[in-house]
Amino acid sequence: MAAKKPEFILFLTLNFVVLLRFAESVVPQQEEQAVGNILAAMNATSWRFNGDSCNLETISEVAKPTQEANASVGCDCTVGNDSDCHVVRIDVAYNYLQGTIPPEWGLTQLQDISLLGNRLTGEIPPELGNITTLTKLILSSNRLTGRLPTALGQLGNLTNLRISDITGPTQGFPPLNNATGLIRLQDVLPCAEDIECPRCEYSSSLNP
């Protein structure tokens, strides 16, 4: 037992260092501002992002528009080599938000974005292609217009993609050659059926 004591002390020390890092780490100001601008552009005025606690704080109490409505963020304090925490998840599904998808998304290190079931308008910004950490992107059931940005093909870590309800010219789906881990395409545009993705589970409510 005595021989294991130094190992136990080392274990406690490492855990203390990790906990201390979490306690002292906050979201960088630029990233906190970017999340704030994202919420403002989507007219998500009922919440304010707190970068110190990594929480969406309620500014005004409103009734949930649907039973499935969600409003949450998640942070990871172990990403990268710095001592900062980074926002890795934003989920505001089914809140009937009536804003736009702003380019500030590209300033984040997000892994998971869900804007499902809102009323967002405008085009999908090409800056989404800058979020190379992204693994899950859900934009279905909004009121988006325009062309799909070719920059989506840069998302090499993407595994789950859902895009639908885009009004605009007839278009091909951007090549997803870099998304070698993509395994799920759901509710995507009909043109996505032409994508070469042997590992993908494909489903769509747009086709009979």
Task: For residue 124, tell me if it sits in a domain.
Answer: yes
The DSSP letter of residue 67 is: T
Task: For residue 139, tell me if it sits in a domain.
Answer: yes
Domain total for the chain? 1
Tokens representing residue 43 in the block = 């007219």
* Cβ atoms of residues 136 and 82 within 8 Å: no
**Domain coverage including residue 100:** 26-203
Burial class (CB in 10 A: 0-12, 13-18, 19+), 167: exposed
Task: For residue 21, tell me if it sits in a domain.
Answer: no
Q: pLDDT at residue 125 above 70?
A: yes
C-alpha atoms less than 13 angstroms from C-alpha of 21 in its C-beta half-sphere = 16
SS3 assignment, position 153: helix
Of the two residues 173 and 46, the one the predictor is more confident about is 46
For residues 56-77, give the mean pLDDT. 88
- The percent of residues above 70 in pLDDT, for the chain, comes to 74
Task: For residue 116, tell me if it sits in a domain.
Answer: yes
Task: For residue 47, tell me if it sits in a domain.
Answer: yes
Confidence of residue 6 (pLDDT cuts 50, 70, 90): low
Q: CA 68, 159, 87: angle at the middle one, nearest 5?
A: 65
Task: For residue 16, tell me if it sits in a domain.
Answer: no
* CATH number of the domain within which 123 lies: 3.80.10.10
What pTM value is reported for the model? Answer: 0.78
Chain-centre distance of CA 61, in angstroms? 24
Task: For residue 10, tell me if it sits in a domain.
Answer: no
